[in-house]
């Protein structure tokens, strides 16, 4: 999308850590801590629900690997994986992204929240609604098959007609002695 700053960052290959045909990972220029990585789908998706299942699976596999790399390269003590999905959740950019935030005890960042105590009736209502909607979990969107261009295979008769030479109005097959040598029975 031309007016999306994240799509523009992807096109410019700015601050790239990793990329493939599905995802793009870059250092966050306004990161929460040193080494803060943003991982996003290469194709424009505004919110998580627009990401195809096969891309989502790839994103979490890559996020896991990037988290391991942060532990090794920066000697950190932990990571937070944060997804701000929609403006009420703190999403600012119009392109969804997974934040991989390196953590250490002295970084001063806090994701602590005050636990909400729901009464039993509200808790039961929410549980029933979610269970009903969760019945189709496990039915995943498959990646579209990739097309492969294959040249047509010539039959033996077609190969023979391509390799014949004309001599004295007679047609004789051209002999490739290297190939004949390979076909020799020991």
Q: Phi and psi at residue 83, in whole multiples of 5°?
A: -120, 115
Decide if pLDDT at 160 tops 60. Answer: no
Per-residue pLDDT averaged across 16-42, rounded?
Answer: 93
* Predicted pLDDT of residue 118: 82
* Predicted pLDDT of residue 183: 59
Best CATH choice for the domain 5-103 from the list 2.40.50.140, 3.40.50.1240, 3.30.428.10, 3.40.190.10: 3.30.428.10
H or E, element range at 167: strand 164-167
* Predicted pLDDT of residue 121: 92
* Predicted pLDDT of residue 164: 52
Residue pair 66/100 in contact (Cβ under 8 Å)? The answer is yes
Distances (CA, A) of 65 to 135, 156, 175: 30, 50, 55
Instruction: Compute the distance between CA of residue 153 and CA of residue 30 in angstroms, rounded to an integer.
Output: 55
Q: Phi and psi at residue 121, in whole multiples of 5°?
A: -65, -45
Pull the structure tokens for residue 168: 């004295």
Decide if pLDDT at 47 tops 80. Answer: yes
- Model confidence, pTM: 0.70
Using the structure block, give the residue that is written with the tokens 């190969």.
159
* Half-sphere exposure of residue 5: CA atoms within 13 angstroms, side-chain side: 6
Strand, coil or helix: what is 45?
coil
Instruction: Compute the distance between CA of residue 98 and CA of residue 89 in angstroms, rounded to an integer.
Output: 13
In the chain, what is the greatest distance between 2 CA atoms, to the nearest angstrom? 101
């Amino acid at each position: 999308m031309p007016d999306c700053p994240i799509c523009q960052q992807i096109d410019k290959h700015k601050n790239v850590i990793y990329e493939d045909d599905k995802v793009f990972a870059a250092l966050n220029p306004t990161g929460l801590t040193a080494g803060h990585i943003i991982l996003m789908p290469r194709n424009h998706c505004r919110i998580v629900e627009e990401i195809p299942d096969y891309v989502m699976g790839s994103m979490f596999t890559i996020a896991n690997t990037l988290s391991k790399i942060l532990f090794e390269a920066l000697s950190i003590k932990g990571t937070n994986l944060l997804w701000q999905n929609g403006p009420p959740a703190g999403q600012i950019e119009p392109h969804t992204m997974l934040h991989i935030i390196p953590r250490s005890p002295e970084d001063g960042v806090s994701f602590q929240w005050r636990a909400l105590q729901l009464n039993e009736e509200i808790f039961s209502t929410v549980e029933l609604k979610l269970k009903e909607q969760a019945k189709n979990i496990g039915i995943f969107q498959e990646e579209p098959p990739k097309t492969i261009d294959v040249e047509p295979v010539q039959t033996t008769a077609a190969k023979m007609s391509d390799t014949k030479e004309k001599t004295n109005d007679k047609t004789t097959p051209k002999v490739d002695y290297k190939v004949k040598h390979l076909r020799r029975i020991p």
